[in-house]
Structure formats: structure tokens, C-alpha cells
Structure 1
Amino acid sequence: MKIIVLPLFRLSSGHHKAAEAVIEHISMIRPDAHIQTVDILSYCHESLESVVSKMYMQWISKKPESYSKFYKSFIYTSDGRRSEQMPLYVWDKYFEFRLARFIEKERPDYIICTHSYPSKLLNHLKRQKKVTVPIINVYTDFFVSDVWGKRSIDYHFVPHLEAKKWLVQLGVPAERVYITGIPVHPSFEVDHVRTKHRSILVAGGNSGLGQLEKLLQHLNDHSLSYTYKVLCGHNEKLRTQIELLGNPRIKALPYMSSREEMNRFYEEASAIITKPGGITVSEVLEKELPVFISGALPGQEEFNADYLKKRELIYELTDAVPIEQQITAIIDSDIERNKWKKRLDQYSLEKEQTLTMTLTAIFGSTTSSVPL
């Protein structure tokens, strides 16, 4: 069996993490599968991918209000149909042509999209009957943007019941929509083991975006009872800033390529401060860690935050009260933690079946025992 997975861009992102998670789940049930991950931008026009990804990073970091307005005008709208009006017709036709040729050459049995743009292209190709391969959308945020292909896509793996209802409202048959949750790598799907460590993880430093510098200064200005471990990734500037603080309660962690090591830090933490990215929040909720956010990047993170706050699955930090005081009011209170755990359990119960079970139902299994 041959499967092609389509994220977008080469830079590390939630779409790539989702792709890696899905691939690992498939490998567990179909070790015979040949799986190929392809960034369609790089495949079609390598220099264009570099330009577009660089422009995107500069746009959201230097003009966040502009990007937010664009996103709300063309990417995610109240009627769910605005993407048809996006001024990308010529580029869409070019990429559709190249994608159809690529699929004809590779002849995959299934295609999995972890980004909305390849899904949009394939949805149009399927409508025109230029592609007949079964397509799976794997959604990586807590909402469904307008750009995703919908009615001509064969399978939809959605994060929650509300997303399923939204797709059905847009004309997708309910039997083609599976509530699996946002994909989490099997490395994180282990029983949560509480430890006696008093540490808070701080994530979001790898991209160099967000309000981390302000957050760390706020922490440094107050006495701390917890140790704050900051995931710096490749951001050397952030590591240097933390070292210059000279605060033994604020520690910089380098880039971690090992999921096992990342899982250990999750296990040792009492909570996490992060941005509301779909994959990161899903991993943390899998570990049953209370999530605190201090701002969101424009676009999808804003809508993720809206949904998560509505379900009271995350807590938003403010400048009015010392940060640690806001965190300890939740994690040091059995009453508050139990309330949050009940909301988390309710959210988790919306999943109709695990990702592994869903993939097994579609692909079948060549293993004697499939982990459920």
C-alpha cells in the first residue's frame, strides 16, 4: 500500500507534526505501507516555497494586525465559503496541474492532507474527476477554515463534535466525518504519571515570535516558587536573554529532537505556558496538563484560543496579577483542578474512536494485535 502525505512548507510546523503523528499511527497497523511526505510547493517550485514561507513569517511578525484582517476576510469566515473568492486562481490552476501529474506518476492508494491548501486543490481535482484516489483531511486546528476541501474529500478526521456538525452543515455526509481529535504522536499517548517536581514549562520560543520576552521579564520581577523551564528550540537570542537574567528559577532548554525527552518534561511539569497552536495544545491536553496562554499569533491561533476559552480548556494570563499567582490559583487548588479535569474529560468523550481505530477501519491491519 502506498500513501502520500501532504503538509505545506518545509519549515517545522504543526502540519508537519500532524503528518509525523499520522505516519507513526499508520506504521503501527500497516508496517508494510510505503509512506511519502511531500511539500507540494517545494515539489513544484522550490524557490517559490522559500519566498512564500519567508514572506509569511515576516507578515505575521511585523504586521500581525494586517495578517489577522486578511485571515478573517479570506481564510475563515462565518459562512465557510469565502475561499472561493481568494485571488489565487492562476496559481491554483498551476498547482492543480502539477499535483495531478505527480499523482498520476506516483499512483498512491491514499492521499492524506495535513494542510488546507493541498486539500483545496485535490477537492477541485476530484470534482473534475482528474483524481480518483481516496483523500483524507486531517485537521490540525480546533476549527475548520474555509480553504480546506470539503464535499469531494473522502474522509475527514476532525477535532471535536462541533467541527463535525459544521462540515455536515456545509454538505459533507456525516458518515465521512470521524471525530478523532487532533493527531498526537503515540509517544505522548501514555498514562500520565504525576511527579513531585515543581516546574512550569514555557513553550513558543523556537519561532522567535510572540510575547515571550515580556512574559519572562514579568516573571523575573517577582519571587517564584516554581522553576520555569523555557523551550527555546533554535532561538539562541532567547537563550542568551534568559542567561542574562541570572534567575535560577528561569532555565533555558535547548532544542529537543527526541519525543521521549519532550515527554519527560511534560511528565515533570505541573502546567505549561504556551501559544494556542493546535498540535501543541493537543499534546499537552493528552498529558492532562493545565494550559495557560499569554497572547496568540494572528490567524489560526486566534480562533484556536476562542474555541478553547469557550470550552474553558485553557486559561488566559493577564498583566494585572503576577503570573505565578494566576497559575497557582488553579494548579494548587484541588477544586479548580477537578473542575478543569471534568471539562477535559467531557471534551475527550466527544471522540468517536481513536485515530488508530479509524485508520484501521480505512486501511485494514497487517498486525496481529492493534493497540487501541
Structure 2
Amino acid sequence: MAKKVMIALAPAGGGHLSVTRALSEALSELAPDVTISAVNVYSAEYGVFPVPALPRLYALLAVNSPALWRRVYYSTCSQTRYSLIEKAAQPWLRPTLKAALQATQPDVVVSALPALGYTMQRALRDLGWRCPLAVVVSDLINIHPAWITRGAAWYAVPTEEARLACVRAGVAPESIHVLGLPVSRAFTEPPADRAALRRRLGVPQEARVVLIMGGADGAGPVEETVQQLLASGVPAFPVVIAGRNERLRRRLSARIRPSAGRVLGFVGNMAEWMWAADLLVTKAGPNTIMEAVHCGLPIVLTGALPGQEEGNIDFVVANGLGTLATRPREIVQAVGRLLGDDEERAAIRQAMARVRRPQAARDIAQLILATCEQAGERDSAVQSLREGA
């Protein structure tokens, strides 16, 4: 019988969706008959108020009130304190997850987001299901207690630093697999003809393309950086990915001539833009960092969301994957320096080759499928015992 895998995600940011897409792609390649349900567990389809509003609240805090988000993150960074919060939210969260589970009937649940592990286990218990729960951690360094679920079958983590953080939080070392951060195949396979790709994207062939973004919500000093870059005389062709920040996209579109740069909203072909670019300017989102690493695209970090992303800056700088510049003037200077130094960019690409894990999605998918098989064998054994009784 074909197996069913439910991947729980949230629309907060773009990272959970990227991980889910990469895992779904790998699962479909390895086991075409597997049924994959990517479930937004905060959607109005399953959630009761205020659950569907939580992702939007997160985006508002992270983008518009980072100082307040810092307080929220660190005030809940105690396992005891976070557990109390999640338990207090059970009346709203458990019905949501039970509805999602009943709709998908999974053999294995894969959590691609923090915050709901305990609640997912309670929901499974309410239904009387013995369904394994696996956790795919997408934060590189700082691991919030919301990721930790005592009864999880296993954890897949992207780095050794993440593994150590999980061990310190009480996770059994043998249940942790350091497999890398899953990225879609499009980021691991370079285009056959980069010139043709640039023509299709409408990018000048000889231009030094600088991809500028602030995550899925267009956070950070994107607008100021673009304005100063265009006024600086640095020979760069900026391509701005504004994400879901429609206000930012409209403002920049009104100011940048098509011959001087491009302004886009949320795109579904990020890999193509990374392969076409010469440099990336972005905040320290883990998925964006690792996608750029697999494309060999040098990085200028402009900052990080407080809490979960702060450790990513040290990861990038310590591994030689790029540089940090937080103010628009400093960012423009870093862009000019890197574009003018072929040797430094080559050294960064070599450093990226040492840390990339292009097989991460397939390795995690194989682990998911093995867990499906083990769950099926266990259920068959239980059924045989019942029939023989």
C-alpha cells in the first residue's frame, strides 16, 4: 500500500515552504507512489481563531518591530517557559492539528516548523494513532526550545552547531542526524547555458548582477541600499526581490528604470535568479544562505532577525561564505569591493563548496521513507498479534 507523508509547515517567512518543497521533490523522485500532503497548519481550513492570525502577527513583529520580536524570542527561550505557553494554547492548537491529521491520514508526520511538536503528539494521542513524528530543523545555529519535541522519532539538523544545541536541550544524540539543510534540486544543478538564462530573464549579458532581497517579507534596508547603490557609480545591475512586500515593490518600481535594474515581487524561480547573479545582498535567513551556497553565489549580509538568525552571521563569516555590512553605505562599499575582486569571489565559491550538502533533501527523504516502512512493519505485527489472539 502506498504510504502517506504529512509535512506540517507555516507561511511565516519563506523558509518552511522552501524546505517543504525540497523534501516533497525528493520524496516524489525516490518513491513516486508516496502521497505527500504539505499542510499549512495555521490555515483557516483547519485553524480556529486566533491560530490563522499567528503567521501574520509574526511577520508584523519580525519586519516592523524587530526589537519587540527580540524580547518575545528570548523571553520564551527557556524550555520550561515555552512548554507552559504551548500547553496553555492547547484549546486552540489541538483542534487545528487533529483536523489536519484526519484530513491527511498520514503514516508519518514531518514537522518543518517549530512550536507545535508537543501539540502534534497530543493530537495523535487523542486520535489513538501511533504515528511517528519527525522534525526537520531549518535553523542553522540558534535552536529555540520550540523545535524540541521529546517524543520525536528523529531530528534532521543542518549543522554540527545545531546538533550540539539539540543535545544541550536534552535530545538523545542517537536520534539526531546532521544531514544539511534541504534545498530544491534547482539550486544544486547549474544552468547548461548561463548566457541563455540571462537573456530569458532580461538581464544584460555583461552586467554585474547584484541580487538584493530581505527575505520573503522584504525586511531590512533594501530601499535605502538600492538608492545608494544606483547613486554610487558602482558598475552593478541591481535585481530587487521584494517578496510579499508589495509596498516596497511599488516604490522601487517607480524609481528604477528598466535599463538600470529590475524590481520583482515574490518569485517562484529564485534558483534561476541566483544562478544569473554575481553577488547576493540579503539578511541572514538560513534557507537563502544555503541556497546561495549551493549556487556558489557570494553573500553580503545586511543583518539578521533577532534570535533565530543572529548565529547565521557568524556561520557565514567564519566559513568564508561572505561578509557583513549593516548600513546602506557600508553595503554599497562591500558590493563594490567584491565585484572588483575576482580572487575574493573565487575564494568564497571554494569555501561554499566545502560546506554545501546537495544530497540533503534526498538523504532526509530516505530517512522519512525508512520511517514509513518501519511504521508499516510495526502495524502489521500488531495486527497479526490481534488476529492470533
| CA 1:176–1:308: 2 relative to 1, 3 Å | same
Residues 78-122 of structure 1 show CA distances to partners (whole Å, capped at 9, x for unaligned) of: xxx355454343313552465357546754211111111222423
Alignment of 1:135-146 (within 5 A): 135-143=133-141, 144-146=143-145
2:230 is the counterpart of 1:232? no
Structure 1 CA distance for aligned equivalents of residues 265 and 53 of structure 2 = 28
Structure 1 segments unaligned to the other structure (5+ residues): 366-372
Matching residue within 366, 372, 377 for 1:360: 366
Cα deviation, residue 147, structure 1 = 0.7
Structure 2 CA distance for aligned equivalents of residues 153 and 273 of structure 1 = 36
Structure 1 CA distance for aligned equivalents of residues 132 and 340 of structure 2 = 49
1:25 counterpart residue number: 26
Residues 256-310 of structure 1 show CA distances to partners (whole Å, capped at 9, x for unaligned) of: 33x3xx3322122111111211212111111010111223333323343344334
| CA 1:192–1:82: 2 relative to 1, 3 Å | farther
Alignment of 1:149-228 (within 5 A): 149-191=148-190, 197-204=207-214, 207-228=217-238
Structure 2 CA distance for aligned equivalents of residues 353 and 227 of structure 1 = 32
| CA 1:172–1:296: 2 relative to 1, 3 Å | closer
Structure 1 CA distance for aligned equivalents of residues 246 and 261 of structure 2 = 16
1:370 counterpart residue number: none
Structure 1 CA distance for aligned equivalents of residues 326 and 361 of structure 2 = 36
Residues 157-180 of structure 1 show CA distances to partners (whole Å, capped at 9, x for unaligned) of: 111112123323434333322222
2:199 counterpart residue number: none
Give me the CA root mean square deviation: 3.2
2:51 counterpart residue number: 49
Alignment of 1:29-178 (within 5 A): 29-42=30-43, 43-75=45-77, 81-84=79-82, 86-92=84-90, 94-96=92-94, 99-100=97-98, 103=101, 106-122=104-120, 131-143=129-141, 144-178=143-177
TM-score after normalising by structure 2 = 0.79
Percent identity at matched positions? 23
Residue type at the aligned position of 2:174: E
Structure 1 CA distance for aligned equivalents of residues 15 and 261 of structure 2 = 26
Structure 2 CA distance for aligned equivalents of residues 97 and 252 of structure 1 = 41
| CA 1:246–1:124: 2 relative to 1, 3 Å | closer
| CA 1:21–1:219: 2 relative to 1, 3 Å | same
| CA 1:164–1:301: 2 relative to 1, 3 Å | closer
Residue type at the aligned position of 1:178: H
Structure 1 CA distance for aligned equivalents of residues 133 and 282 of structure 2 = 32
Q: How many residues align?
A: 355
Conserved 8 A contact 1:126-1:152: no
Conserved 8 A contact 2:86-2:119: no
Conserved 8 A contact 2:139-2:286: yes
Structure 1 CA distance for aligned equivalents of residues 265 and 65 of structure 2 = 28
1:256 counterpart residue number: 267
Structure 2 CA distance for aligned equivalents of residues 110 and 18 of structure 1 = 17
TM-score after normalising by structure 1 = 0.82
Does the residue aligned with 2:50 lie in a helix, a strand or coil? helix
1:368 counterpart residue number: none
Conserved 8 A contact 2:182-2:361: yes
Residue type at the aligned position of 1:108: P
Structure 1 CA distance for aligned equivalents of residues 136 and 338 of structure 2 = 33
2:321 is the counterpart of 1:313? yes
Structure 1 CA distance for aligned equivalents of residues 137 and 116 of structure 2 = 12
Structure 2 CA distance for aligned equivalents of residues 192 and 105 of structure 1 = 39
Conserved 8 A contact 1:228-1:250: yes
Does the residue aligned with 1:72 lie in a helix, a strand or coil? helix
Matching residue within 272, 280, 283 for 1:272: 280
Does the residue aligned with 2:296 lie in a helix, a strand or coil? coil
Structure 1 CA distance for aligned equivalents of residues 91 and 328 of structure 2 = 51
Moved more, 220-229 or 282-291: 220-229
2:314 is the counterpart of 1:301? no
Structure 2 segments unaligned to the other structure (5+ residues): 196-205, 372-389
| CA 1:353–1:167: 2 relative to 1, 3 Å | farther
Structure 2 CA distance for aligned equivalents of residues 192 and 331 of structure 1 = 22
